[in-house]
Amino acid sequence: MISIPDFYKGKNVLITGATGFMGKVLLEKLLRSCPSVKAVYVLVRPKASQKPQERVTEMMGYKLFDRLRDEQPDSTEKVIAISSELTQPELDLSKEDQETLIDCIDIVFHCAATVRFNESLRDAMQLNVIATRQVLYLAQRMKKLEVFIHVSTAYANCNRKQIEEIVYPPPVDPRKLIESLEWMDDSLVSDITPKLIGDRPNTYTYTKALAEYVVQQEGSKLNIAIVRPSIVGASWKEPFPGWIDNFNGPSGLFIAAGKGILRTMRASNNAVADLIPVDVVVNTTLAAAWYSGVNRPRNIIVYNCTTGGTNPFHWGEVEYYVNVSFKMNPLEQTLRRPNVTLRSNPLLHHYWTAVSHIGPALLISFLFGLRMMKTITRLHKAMMLLEYFTSNSWVWNNENTNMLMNQLSSEDKKVFNFDVRQLHWAEYMENYCMGTKKYVLNEEMSGLPAARKHLNKLRNIRYGFNTVLVVLIWRVFIARSQMARNIWYFVVSLCFKFLSYFRASSTMRY
């Protein structure tokens, strides 16, 4: 088969969601690794102060595109912005733009979606299901279309413990639900939402499952593949390690832990943290379009783009590496030393939430006038939204993804690598945490010595506070009671005996 870059040579590509996290990385990788692509059309929502092309020009000035600008300075001219609003009829495309896309597009990457877990059902349906259907209607009219790629989520069917690479029957007929939402008021929609989503945790996973079925039914005459990434995180290697540009998903929690704000979190240490680097997802997506475009399979191919079944990484390990990484390379102006702990017991979690989150937040707000309770409230809401995913594990079938990897030539395997067996988690987590520092918080590496000095100062303050606390406990409780003193002396003597035994054993060993 022809190589991946040769497949994209001379092709016109359409990307929805190109201004989103994954869409930006997809655009950058496509332009950089497939330099002979003819043009990339991106659907962009206009803003009051900026036209779509201005938004794209500004976006391509981001650090993410530094490598592309150095290697191929003229590639930005291939990016053509099309004014569009996915929530509007016919995507709010002008007749001229519709005709342009219908006449020239060869490949469609549909990445646009709302990733908010707490989105209302009406809005989630509009963005994830109805918009997908409208993009499919447009694709059906395209004269040269070779392949349509739909980016879904591995958690679309998270109500199942074992997830195959197939499109599952939907929990409800999407057409009937769309028709029902047209006459329901918001209060009624809010009331029926829990019953509709059933054993799924949120409207995001529910509507993404419906969207997959819509793609299967409405796009039956198209050459389609579906890519299902799990929890998309910072980049592994490209365009450089650790790139991340948002607080979504685990990134915001990592930053809160690095700042010393997040101290306890409800999660199972043994549950698999199915993080997947964004560049792995992008490489899988580009390869999936290549394979379907070249082989023209008879049925939709679904790719579970996950790490849990191939290179498992657990939430307990995430806790360890986050704490270690931020102690080695601390964030600036941290409030406390990074020391987040995961707890599966809800009672213990609630206790430590009160002790290590709410109590300190109230104290800081009282002493310094900071609005810490607002920050803590937002943090707790984010944790609650992720709790379902940090407390459960799934078994993924990855046969199609492994097949795709085996179809690549040796050169394509290097350029479009998505073999997660090569992923070294300790290195990845260190780069991830550094990425939040450099690219999300925009902190300079030259400030690391001062940040480390500040962290040492916080450690000394903590030791001093603990010493004062022990002295107070002694003066108030132990010194006044003979029984308490006897217990205290007994505990201290046991500690000394243990240390003496340990030292004697060490001496004998050497």
d(CA 79, CA 75): 8
Residue 507 has pLDDT above 60, yes or no: no
**Torsion, CA 485, CA 490, CA 492, CA 495, rounded to 10:** -170
Find the domain containing 473 and state its range: 448-509
pLDDT in tens, 17-45: 999 999 999 999 999 999 999 999 999 98
Whether 99 and 145 map to the same domain: the answer is yes
Whether 54 and 202 map to the same domain: the answer is yes
Predicted local confidence at residue 480, as pLDDT? 65
Whether 38 and 139 map to the same domain: the answer is yes
| Confidence grade of residue 475 (pLDDT, cut at 50, 70, 90) | low
Residue 510 has pLDDT above 50, yes or no: no
Q: What are phi and psi of 476, to 5 degrees?
A: -85, -40
% of the chain residues with pLDDT over 70: 94
Asked if the structure places residue 95 within a domain, the reply is yes
DSSP reduced 3-state for 253: helix
| Mean pLDDT to the nearest integer, 426-441 | 95
Question: Which segment of 223-227, 310-314, 467-471 scores lowest on mean pLDDT?
Answer: 467-471
| Mean pLDDT to the nearest integer, 120-134 | 93
Whether 400 and 466 map to the same domain: the answer is no
- Using alpha carbons, select from 348, 421, 422, 346 the residue that is nearest to residue 391: 346
Residue 500 has pLDDT above 80, yes or no: no
Residue 48 has pLDDT above 80, yes or no: no
Q: Which of 346-350, 410-414, 460-464 has the highest mean pLDDT?
A: 410-414
Contact between 231 and 275 under an 8 Å Cβ cutoff? The reply is yes
| Confidence grade of residue 210 (pLDDT, cut at 50, 70, 90) | very high
Q: Rounded to 5 degrees, what angle do the CA atoms 314, 251, 123 make?
A: 110
Q: DSSP alpha helices (H): ranges in 370-509?
A: 372-390, 399-407, 410-415, 425-435, 448-473, 482-509
d(CA 83, CA 46): 6
The 10 Å CB-count burial string (b at 16+, else e) for 17-35 is: bbbbbbbbbbbbbbbbbbb
Contact between 119 and 203 under an 8 Å Cβ cutoff? The reply is yes
Write the CA distances from 330 to 227, 348, 461, 463, integer angstroms.
36, 28, 17, 19
Residue 74 has pLDDT above 80, yes or no: yes
Predicted local confidence at residue 103, as pLDDT? 94
| Mean pLDDT to the nearest integer, 447-470 | 82
Asked if the structure places residue 261 within a domain, the reply is no
Enter the tokens of residue 88. Answer: 């509007």
Predicted local confidence at residue 504, as pLDDT? 57
Asked if the structure places residue 349 within a domain, the reply is no
Asked if the structure places residue 486 within a domain, the reply is yes
Whether 468 and 400 map to the same domain: the answer is no
pLDDT in tens, 331-361: 998 888 899 999 988 898 888 888 888 888 8
| Confidence grade of residue 134 (pLDDT, cut at 50, 70, 90) | very high
Residue 324 has pLDDT above 90, yes or no: yes
| Mean pLDDT to the nearest integer, 124-146 | 94
Beta-carbon contacts of residue 226 (< 8 Å; ≥ 6 apart): 149, 150, 151, 152, 167, 212, 215, 300, 301, 302, 303
Beta-carbon contacts of residue 403 (< 8 Å; ≥ 6 apart): none
Predicted local confidence at residue 316, as pLDDT? 93
Asked if the structure places residue 327 within a domain, the reply is no
pLDDT in tens, 218-261: 888 899 999 999 999 999 999 999 999 888 888 999 999 999 99
Predicted local confidence at residue 477, as pLDDT? 63
Asked if the structure places residue 381 within a domain, the reply is no
d(CA 147, CA 288): 9
Predicted local confidence at residue 219, as pLDDT? 83
| Mean pLDDT to the nearest integer, 310-324 | 94
User: Total structural domains in the chain?
Assistant: 2
CATH number of the domain to which 413 belongs:
3.40.50.720
Asked if the structure places residue 94 within a domain, the reply is yes
The 10 Å CB-count burial string (b at 16+, else e) for 103-140 is: ebbbbbbbbbbbbebebebbebbbbbbbbbbbbbebbe
| Confidence grade of residue 479 (pLDDT, cut at 50, 70, 90) | low
Enter the tokens of residue 392. Answer: 């459960």
Whether 483 and 412 map to the same domain: the answer is no
Asked if the structure places residue 385 within a domain, the reply is no
Predicted local confidence at residue 108, as pLDDT? 97
Predicted local confidence at residue 220, as pLDDT? 81
**Torsion, CA 165, CA 166, CA 171, CA 173, rounded to 10:** 140
